[in-house]
Amino acid sequence: MAQVLERIEQYADEISAAGVEGDKLMRLPDTVAQRLRESGAIRMLQPKQYGGLEVHPREFAETTMAIGAMDGAAGWVTGIVGVHPWELAFFDPAAQDEVWGADPDTWMASPYAPMGIATPVDGGYQLSGRWSFSSGTDHCQWVMIGAAVGDKHGKRLLPPQMLHVLLPRSDYDIDQDSWDVVGLRGTGSKDLIVKGAFVPTHRTIDASKVFEGTAPKEAGRTETLYRFPFSCIFPLGITSSLIGIAEGALACHLAAQKSRITVAGTAIKDDPYVLFAIGEAAAEIAASRAAILETVDRFWDMSEKGQDITFELRAIGRRTQTAAAWRVVRAVDEIFARSGGGALQMKTPLQRFWRDAHAGLAHAIHVPGSIFHASALTQLGGEPQGIYRSMI
For the segment 145-162, the average pLDDT, to the nearest whole number, is: 91
Highest mean pLDDT among 246-250, 258-262, 264-268: 246-250
Q: Which helix (H) or strand (E) holds 206?
A: strand 204-206
List phi, psi (to 5°) of 204. Answer: -130, 155
Query: Side chain identity at 31, as an amino acid letter?
Result: T
For the segment 162-171, the average pLDDT, to the nearest whole number, is: 98
Q: What is the pLDDT of residue 341?
A: 85
Q: What is the pLDDT of residue 159?
A: 87
The C-alpha atoms of residue 390 and residue 392 are separated, in whole angstroms, by: 5
Q: Which helix (H) or strand (E) holds 199?
A: strand 190-200
Of 104, 266, 84, nearest to 167 (Cα)? 84
* Least trusted range by pLDDT, from 276-290, 355-369, 378-392: 378-392
Q: What is the pLDDT of residue 61?
A: 97
Query: pTM for this one?
Result: 0.96
Those residues whose C-beta lies under 8 Å from the C-beta of residue 91, and which sit 6 or more positions away, are 166, 202, 203, 205, 219
Q: Do domains 108-206 and 228-389 have the same CATH topology?
A: no
- Alpha helical stretches, state H, 19-88: 19-25, 30-39, 57-70, 72-81, 84-88
Where in the chain are the domains?
2-100, 108-206, 228-389
Q: How confident is the model at residue 261 (pLDDT cuts 50, 70, 90)?
A: confident
Of 257, 245, 246, nearest to 343 (Cα)? 257
For the segment 376-383, the average pLDDT, to the nearest whole number, is: 96
Instruction: For domain 228-389, give the CATH number.
Output: 1.20.140.10
Q: How confident is the model at residue 219 (pLDDT cuts 50, 70, 90)?
A: very high
What CATH class is the domain 108-206?
mainly beta
Q: Which CATH superfamily is domain 2-100 in?
A: Acyl-CoA dehydrogenase/oxidase, N-terminal domain (1.10.540.10)
- Asked whether 261 and 340 are in contact (CB, 8 A), the reply is no
The C-alpha atoms of residue 246 and residue 154 are separated, in whole angstroms, by: 44
